[in-house]
Amino acid sequence: MNKYLFRWPLVGLLISAYTAMPALAATPAADIHLTTRQQARLQLSILKARAIINRAATAFPATLAIDPTNICIVSAPIDGRLRAVGNRHFPQLLALTKADSPLAQIMPSLNATELTTLKLLLVKSKANLTAAKISADTARIKFKRDKTLYNSNQAISLQTLEDAQSALAQAMSLYRSDQAMVAAAASWLGGGKQADGIPLVPTHGGELIKLLAHPGQDVTTGQKLFEIWNPHRLLVRTFLPLNYSLPPHFHLKTYWHGHPLHLTFVGIAGHASKITGGAVMVACMQNVAHLRAGMPITVWLTSKRRHPEHGYFIPQRAMVWWGGARWVFAKVSTTTFSPIRLVRSHPAPGGRFVPQLPPHARLLVVRGAQYLLSMEQSYSLKKSG
């Protein structure tokens, strides 16, 4: 009972103190005047509002995922014992690998059955080498043709040129892998230097994401040993709202540190999202920003049929929150800063879109706006007594 008697007077004291405080204004109204020296001391940064065309982009949550078509699985071509190559260390998990560099090698024990298997492997490797050479030559011709068309500003996009370059690199990697396999098998069957085993060369380089065997382990033909992921291409899984229908014509984009990254629509996944309950839209993107699978991002969907709206882009760092609304501080003269309320603003990548902005209020404070707001609050307190 005594503790409640002790607390109630404190509550009454706090209530009386709160009611005695001067009320803050619901909206900032007074301009702030700062000399040039004061502005330099505060390190204010000013940016002119950029005129843009708003095409009614809609934001959706998404996550990045590994593209299964860019995964290389290295399996044992023959029974034997796994070991490192020469004096090099055995590859470690998450290590970066090269297409023309063997990960490890297998030391086969050639009994009669295994000798027959190795002979068959040599025949198969020679056939694969011939096919790989034809594929590499075809990919090289296509890349040269696409590059010539792209440089002459014909109907070839940069994406098409990058795909042709990637296909050429993969074809050359496969050719070098088959070439190394033929050389190793021929060396073993021909009584050459048998200190080296059969090399395990991946078809493309990347990051080692699965290590399924260790050095000194006896492996069998077809056993999976390594799994490598090429990080140059990622899948984007976008979670759509329940009962949301995609427009007939649209394009997709995401942003990383303010730079746009274009996405290519792949299709709709066969399962619903556990987050939104709606469909999962799958797209792909070139990983030029060195992003990681599993990272959350925001995907912006823009319908091509919607009527565009002209207005201005307000960066996120220029906005402050006051009285339940978004505000910016505009530099209206050399020494005067005026608060401007954002009316009818809409989300935009990296900030907000406003259809109108006063002509005198288009130089926005992008660094130091929060300090100007605190000065505004101080003026409001002094004015209220």
Tens-digit pLDDT profile for residues 319-368: 998 888 888 999 999 889 988 888 888 777 778 888 888 888 889 998 88
Give the count of alpha carbons within 13 A of 147, CB side only. Answer: 11
Same domain for 143 and 167?
A: yes
For residues 251 and 66, give the distance between their C-alpha atoms in angstroms, rounded to a whole number: 22
**Domain termination residue (choose one: 197, 222, 247):** 222
Q: How far is CA 245 from CA 33, 300, 304, 347, 363, in A?
A: 51, 15, 15, 20, 39
Which pair of tokens denotes residue 263?
């996405």
pLDDT computed for residue 190 by the predictor: 59
Q: Does 164 fall in a domain?
A: yes
Q: What is the mean pLDDT of residues 161-178?
A: 75
Is residue 228 one of the residues assigned to a domain? no
Asked if residue 351 and residue 216 are part of one domain, the reply reads no
pLDDT of amino acid 7: 44
Q: Are residues 83 and 194 in the same domain?
A: yes
Residue 207 CA to residue 94 CA, distance in Å, equals 6
Indicate the average pLDDT of the chain: 79
Is the per-residue pLDDT at 210 higher than 60? Answer: yes
Using alpha carbons only, give the angle 68, 73, 74 rounded to the nearest 5 degrees: 165
pLDDT digits (tens, 9 = 90+) for 217-232: 989 888 999 999 888 8
CA pair distance 19, 336, nearest whole angstrom: 34
Which pLDDT score, from 0 to 100, does residue 154 have? 64
Domain that holds residue 329: 25-52+310-383
User: What's the confidence (pLDDT) of residue 181?
Assistant: 72
Residue 196 — pLDDT band, cuts 50, 70, 90? low
Residue 306 has a pLDDT of 58
One domain for residues 63 and 46:
no
The total domain count for the chain is: 3
Shared domain check, 275 and 205: no
216, 278: one domain? no
Position 2 in a domain: no
CA distance 58 to 47: 26
Average pLDDT in the 259-265 region?
87
pLDDT value of residue 40: 87
- DSSP structural state of residue 334: S
pLDDT at 3 over 50: no
Q: Out of 162, 190, 222, pick the residue that ends a domain.
A: 222
In the predicted model, is pLDDT for residue 316 greater than 60?
yes
pLDDT grade for 5, boundaries at 50, 70 and 90: very low
Domain CATH code at residue 281 = 2.40.30.170
Per residue in 76-128, pLDDT tens?
988 888 989 888 889 998 888 887 788 899 887 666 666 677 777 777 878 88
The reply to whether 328 and 351 lie within a common domain is yes
Collect all residues with Cβ–Cβ distance below 8 Å to 170 and sequence separation of at least 6: 139, 203, 204
The predicted structure's pLDDT at residue 17: 34
Q: Is residue 19 part of a domain?
A: no
| Residues 142, 265 within the same domain | no
Q: What is the pLDDT of residue 22?
A: 34
pLDDT value at residue 114: 64
Check residues 5 and 244 and name the one with the higher pLDDT.
Answer: 244
- 3 state DSSP class of 3: helix
Q: Is residue 241's pLDDT more than 80?
A: yes
Residue 314 belongs to a domain with what CATH number? 2.40.420.20
Q: pLDDT for 29-41, tens place per residue?
A: 578 888 888 888 8
For residues 86 and 210, membership in a common domain is answered with yes
Helix (H, G, I), strand (E, B) or coil at 298: strand
pTM exceeding 0.85: no
Q: Is the pLDDT of residue 15 over 50?
A: no
Residues 128 and 253 in one domain: no
The answer to the question of residue 15 being in a domain is: no
| 158: confidence class by pLDDT, cuts 50, 70, 90 | low
Alpha-carbon gap, residue 282 to 317, rounded angstroms: 31
Q: Are residues 185 and 248 in the same domain?
A: no
* Long-range CB contacts (within 8 A, 24+) of 319-326: 319/351, 319/352, 319/369, 320/369, 320/370, 320/372, 320/373, 322/27, 322/28, 322/373, 322/376, 323/25, 323/26, 323/27, 323/28, 325/27, 326/352
More confident residue, 311 or 116: 311
Residue 14 lies in a domain: no
Task: Report residue 235 as tokens.
Answer: 């899948």
Do 158 and 268 lie in one domain? The reply is no
CA–CA separation, 49 vs 284, rounded Å? 32
The answer to the question of residue 3 being in a domain is no
Report how far residue 319's alpha carbon sits from residue 369's, in angstroms, rounded to the nearest whole number.
7
pLDDT at site 167:
78
Most confident of 123-127, 154-158, 178-182, 355-359: 355-359
How many Cα atoms sit within 13 Å of 273 on the Cβ side?
21
Which pLDDT value is given to residue 21? Answer: 34
Span 14-32, average pLDDT: 46
258 in a structural domain: yes
Domain boundary among 285, 303, 321: 303
| Whether 238 contacts 62, CB under 8 Å | yes
